[in-house]
Amino acid sequence: MKIWKIKNIFKEPITFSYMTSSSSSQGMMLQPEDICLVMAQLTAPLDAQRRRGFITIEQDYDNALNLPLGTPLKESDFVVNETIPTEEAPISKMEEAEKDAIEYIKKS
């Protein structure tokens, strides 16, 4: 099943409806910066919010975390594929010893 990730990029809460099966839909309210995972099927209210620039739709979202569909979520509650910048990455003991040795040699 294809899944879309809907994100409210507007500064106010927004409402839209999404498909729950091939013949039924359900309404939802998303607070600013909240996301929701839904079945990949465009409804008229969802399309209207997208055209107004109130939401973004990430198509073919990989739901590797098995997050629930149709539930408002805070994107800040989970992070997928976050990389640590090199200046903040933990230094191994060997690298730390090498740096100490170089500093010691420079002092001598």
pLDDT tens, position by position, 27-78: 999 999 999 999 999 999 999 999 999 999 999 888 888 889 999 998 777 6
> Which range, 15-24, 35-44, 75-84, is most confident?
35-44
Residue 91 within a domain: no
Residue 94 within a domain: no
Residue 25 tokens read as 């839909």
Domain that holds residue 38: 3-83
Residue 30 within a domain: yes
With a cut of 60, say whether residue 89 has pLDDT above it.
no
pTM exceeds 0.75 for this model: no
Residue 26 within a domain: yes
With a cut of 80, say whether residue 88 has pLDDT above it.
no
Number of domains in the chain: 1
